[in-house]
Chain A
Amino acid sequence: MDFTVIDGPTSTEIRLQGRMTFSDHDTFRSVIAAFDRPAGHRMVFDLSGLDFVDSSGLGMFIIARDTAQKKKLDFTMRGARDEVQRLITLAKLHKVFTIDA
């Protein structure tokens, strides 16, 4: 998995690309490092470049959400497609995550 961080004054967009699996735990730690922002800041995961996530990938979404809650950040995900969208639906993540259309 690769990622790009696009920083704005009130929001940060993180574009995730490729395949997000068990072996990306270290990469994901760097993604989480980008969550070091002031309370009220908006964090957005753009998943449109993501081809695949496995269950470890879902775990990383949950860690991101948890980190955002602890830092009082506003966390949303958007752009999931195909397999990624299928897995999010299967795990009913839309019930607990804010997912933008």
Chain B
Amino acid sequence: MEGSIETPASLYGLDLGLPLGDFRVLIADNSRFNRRTLARFLQWIGIDKVAFATDGPELMDQIEAFDPDLLMIDAQLPPIDGMALCRILRANPRWRDLPILMQSTRQTDQIRSLCFQAGATDLLAKPINPGECVARVRYHLERRAMVRELRAFHERVERDLKQARSMQLALVPDSEWLEAMAGRNGLRIDPVFQTSHEVGGDFWTAFEIGGGQVGVFVADLSGHGIASAINAFRLHTLLTRTPAEELRDPARLMTQLNQRLTDILTVGQFATAFYGVIDPARDTLLYAAAGAPNPLLGSRGGFRTLDASGMLLGAFADAEYETRVTRFLPGDTLFLYSDGLTEARDRSDTMLGELGLADLVEEAVRTAPEHPFPWLMARFAERFGTGLYDDLTALWIARDPL
């Protein structure tokens, strides 16, 4: 490398950070000498998009037209001083974030405090030290660039997540379709599906298998947020590719899904799941489970718990599942839910728990026999709030009475 002669420009203009050539700086100063001096300092650090104002009114015109990234203003700008102008600018949302570098000859702590109170971002003492001046200009412009970058990133991610959220909501059955499908099979299915973040790891679906059977699948992918949402999509894809033959046999479906998921998921990721096949012609519910919260089955004698224990889906390649069978008569109810419901904590940090939920369900059926599910979810929201810590799925499935 060639040696270079150290001129003031190369010393003060040391290019250590972001190139500043695209930034625009407005200089408001009534002294021609000061304006030219400041402009020369700015040139050292590569800033040549510079505009000038000599007084208050000119500043207000220039700032609109020039749209600066930084304003250098003299505290004693006529006819009203820089501090008053600062206050006016800060009152306008457009200039609320604009870095304002104020120069002042009066250097008492009181004056400096007043400058900051008026909205100055930083102060430079007059006479200006060139090195300090360019260092501060660089600092504020770089900071502004970083904030902008962060804001742009934040906006992009927010847009992406919003889109992902609508995709995730589209994974679960459409309400009109669900009502028609359930109705055809003598059922009523009321769902609640909420994510704690924009996207989440809960997933559920229902479908006709043929021969009058209806399959209901509820899963909770481990973790929260994007990673578990991606896994929920994977599970959905696997499920939609499953032939009807496998859908008829809950344990077989679980075994197949487990093998496929184990290949895809990383260690420590898995799903808890419940899969039930409702067969109105035989008055039965066939089901297999993978460590899901225990569903509640309501019949004339009240509610009882179904055993939903089972190996986690996608965690162990050789996991085996069993199909269990229970009576599911006209008028009976099957209540499926994710752990977002039972692990919710109220203001006193008390967890609802499975027993608490069972009590709440009994109370719902007693108090609001016509609409137990909305009553239940309203009580839940009252006690646990609507700001969820976890994704929440709840399905109230009722067989029409005879």
Binding site for B on A (CB under 8 A): 22, 52, 54-56, 58-60, 62-63, 66, 87, 89-92, 95-96
Whether B309 contacts A63 by the Cβ 8 Å rule is: no
Known: A22-B223, A59-B222. Is A92-B268 also a contact (CB below 8 A)?
no
C-alpha gap A32/B311 in the complex (Å): 23
B372 interface residue, CB < 8 Å from A?
A: no
Q: Which residues of chain B in 313-361 are interfacial with respect to chain A, using CB atoms and an 8 Å cutoff?
A: 315-316, 339, 343, 351
C-alpha gap A43/B81 in the complex (Å): 72
> In the complex, how many angstroms separate the beta carbon of A88 from the nearest chain B beta carbon?
10
B310 interface residue, CB < 8 Å from A?
A: yes
From A28, which residue of chain B is reached at the shortest CB distance? B268
Main SS of chain B's interface residues? loop
Residues of A within 8 A of B316 (CB): 96
Known: A55-B222, A55-B339, A56-B223. Is A91-B291 also a contact (CB below 8 A)?
yes
Whether B311 contacts A95 by the Cβ 8 Å rule is: yes
Known: A56-B222, A90-B291, A92-B291. Is A66-B309 also a contact (CB below 8 A)?
no
Whether B268 contacts A91 by the Cβ 8 Å rule is: no
> In the complex, how many angstroms separate the beta carbon of B291 from the nearest chain A beta carbon?
4
Whether A54 contacts B291 by the Cβ 8 Å rule is: no
C-alpha gap A91/B268 in the complex (Å): 13
C-alpha gap A66/B223 in the complex (Å): 18
Residues of B within 8 A of A92 (CB): 291, 309-311
From A95, which residue of chain B is reached at the shortest CB distance? B311
- A-B contacts, CB under 8 A, total: 52
> In the complex, how many angstroms separate the beta carbon of B319 from the nearest chain A beta carbon?
8
Query: Sorted from nearest, which 10 A-B pairs have the closest CB atoms?
Result: A91-B291, A59-B268, A63-B268, A66-B267, A90-B309, A55-B222, A59-B222, A92-B311, A62-B268, A90-B291
Whether B269 contacts A59 by the Cβ 8 Å rule is: yes
Size class of B's contact patch? Answer: 20 to 34
Residues of B within 8 A of A22 (CB): 223-224
From B310, which residue of chain A is reached at the shortest CB distance? A92
Interface bits B265-278 vs A (CB < 8 Å: 1, else 0): 00111101000000
B182 interface residue, CB < 8 Å from A?
A: no
Known: A55-B222, A56-B222, A59-B222. Is A91-B267 also a contact (CB below 8 A)?
no
Whether A62 contacts B311 by the Cβ 8 Å rule is: no
Known: A22-B223, A55-B272, A56-B223. Is A91-B339 also a contact (CB below 8 A)?
no
Residues of A within 8 A of B223 (CB): 22, 56, 59
Interface bits B66-105 vs A (CB < 8 Å: 1, else 0): 0000000000000000000000000000000000000000
Whether B312 contacts A91 by the Cβ 8 Å rule is: yes
Residues of A within 8 A of B311 (CB): 91-92, 95-96
Whether A63 contacts B267 by the Cβ 8 Å rule is: yes
Contact of B308 among A54, A87, A90 (CB under 8 A): A90
> In the complex, how many angstroms separate the beta carbon of B227 from the nearest chain A beta carbon?
11
Contact of A58 among B267, B310, B312, B390 (CB under 8 A): B312
From B272, which residue of chain A is reached at the shortest CB distance? A55
Contact of B220 among A55, A62, A66, A96 (CB under 8 A): A55
- 8 further contact pairs, Cβ within 8 A, besides A56-B223, A62-B268, A63-B267: A55-B222, A55-B272, A58-B222, A58-B291, A59-B223, A89-B309, A90-B309, A91-B272
Whether B339 contacts A66 by the Cβ 8 Å rule is: no
C-alpha gap A40/B109 in the complex (Å): 69
Residues of A within 8 A of B339 (CB): 54-55
